[in-house]
Homo-oligomer: A and B are copies of this chain.
Amino acid sequence: MEEIENTEVEEGLTPPDKEEIARILADESDGALKEYLEPLHPADIAELLMLLPDEDDWPRVIKYLNDEDASLVLEELPEHQRQKMVHFLSTQRLSAIVGEMDTDDAADLLAELPDKQVETILHSMDEEDAEDIQQLMSYPDDSAGGIMQTELASMESTLTVREAIASLREMHQEIEELRHIYVTDKDGKFLGLVPIIRLLYADQDTTLDDLKEPAVITVPPQLDQEDVARLFRKYDLVSMPVVDENEVLLGRILIDDVVDVLDEEASEDMLRFVGTSSEDLVYGNKIFSIIMRRLPWLVSNLLGGLITGYLITKFDNIKLLDAMILISFVPVITAMAGNMGSQSATIVIRGFALGKVQLHNLSRTFIRELLVGLSIGLICGILVGSIGAIHNGAPLVGIIVGTSMMISMTTAALMGVAVPSFFKLIGTDPAIASGPLVTTVLDITGILIYLANTQLLLTLLA
């Protein structure tokens, strides 16, 4: 926890409005600006930067930040805004700022910079830190190794409480969130944890070996960050040791990094569900990149729409009944099937994300959605069928429309389960464009069901 002024909040902090910003910037001696920045938390300074009307005002704010605050502001900015801030910093200043960062955040930042600048910055740093950062940069972004940090209080098990307290004295200024001593053997193999509070009461000559408790769980650096998040959630953890295949301690993951993962994953799932992705591109201002991101799925759905339209004209070939009457029920059948399918797909996708639905217990979800689809399909079928029969004065139309509705809604519920499960089975993210894909497939199958059912019933009943 930083030493920062207490800010009282009633309904969440409100960022400054345009007039306030204009007032602060109007004073060219920067007096108003300095006064405004003084009590601000780095997260609020990041927010202020993004609200500045003119990029050229960024350096005015940045120059009043000390290196530590500047490092925190950089971490708070979204990627494309971070690039902007980096652009206003000399490599020398940037080196100083990176030096203030935790290794995991430093590695994330450096991964975004050009190789040459990275080299200069690493060269200017303490050798050990530079090595740690390079090691962290070698792990994939979305793995346990990619979100862990190497800052932790690691001590050998033979140390006494007295010695441990002495070592901690130096560390605790530098390491945030110091709550446990990570106990290892002389080769760095992880043995367990000692909560700091136990040092207050333990005999000064006890060794850490006697005080250590096993960790609830340790993870390898390759583990996917989604799995890391799931384990944090499942076991209510606040930190997690990362070890290599020989159980040598590599680093720790803290819960605040996991919070970011959870947000990232939830956003990704929602955006992928509608056939787009990558927050930064979506919230950013690069119109061309945004279009290239969103267009492919839309265009592939174009084909689905054209097929649906082509199928509609097939109703013209049906004898005995007015094509226009039959066609007028196409939208309600395809829309309801689409909604039903999206509901089922969302439930399954979210269930996978939270670990509540798993491939091995999928049959339960499948049966439940079948029953739900059948029941809701029956209700909607009767409703629309009645409208069809009464409005057109033709019971036959009602029967055809009602049964088609029921069949296509039930099919929709099942396909809503099947499509994301299929993606999960082949190892792809189940959220990938399940929305548009499911809707398009259901549009086509909905009409095919309607067409086939109409032909069938006309043969049987007419």
Contact = CB atoms under 8 A, between A and B. Distances in A.
Nearest to A199: B200
Contacts of A262: 259, 262-263, 266
A51 B168 CA distance: 45
Total identical chains: 2
Nearest to A309: B328
Contact of A3 (B4, B43, B213, B342): B213
Interface string A279-300: 1001101010011001101110
A81 to B, nearest CB: 11
The bracket for how many chain A residues form the interface is 35 or more
The A interface, classified by DSSP as helix, strand, loop or mixed, is helix
A232 B259 contact: yes
Contacts of A217: 6-9
Interface in A369-401: 371-372, 375-376, 379-380, 383-384, 387
Contacts of A24: none
B9 A290 contact: no
Interface in A307-349: 308-310, 312-313, 316, 323-324, 327-336, 338-340, 342-343, 346-347, 349
Contacts of A384: 302, 306
Contacts of A180: 1
A304 B335 contact: yes
25 contacts: A7-B216, A12-B230, A43-B234, A172-B201, A196-B196, A199-B200, A236-B256, A258-B259, A266-B270, A270-B270, A270-B350, A275-B339, A285-B368, A287-B368, A291-B375, A297-B339, A301-B336, A309-B328, A312-B331, A316-B324, A323-B324, A331-B443, A335-B440, A338-B439, A339-B439
Interface of A: 1-13, 15, 17, 41, 43, 51, 76, 78, 165, 168-169, 172, 177-180, 192-193, 195-197, 199-201, 213-220, 223, 227, 230-238, 255-256, 258-260, 262-263, 266-267, 269-271, 273-276, 279, 282-283, 285, 287, 290-291, 294-295, 297-299, 301-302, 304-306, 308-310, 312-313, 316, 323-324, 327-336, 338-340, 342-343, 346-347, 349-351, 354, 356-358, 360-361, 364, 368, 371-372, 375-376, 379-380, 383-384, 387, 435-436, 439-440, 443
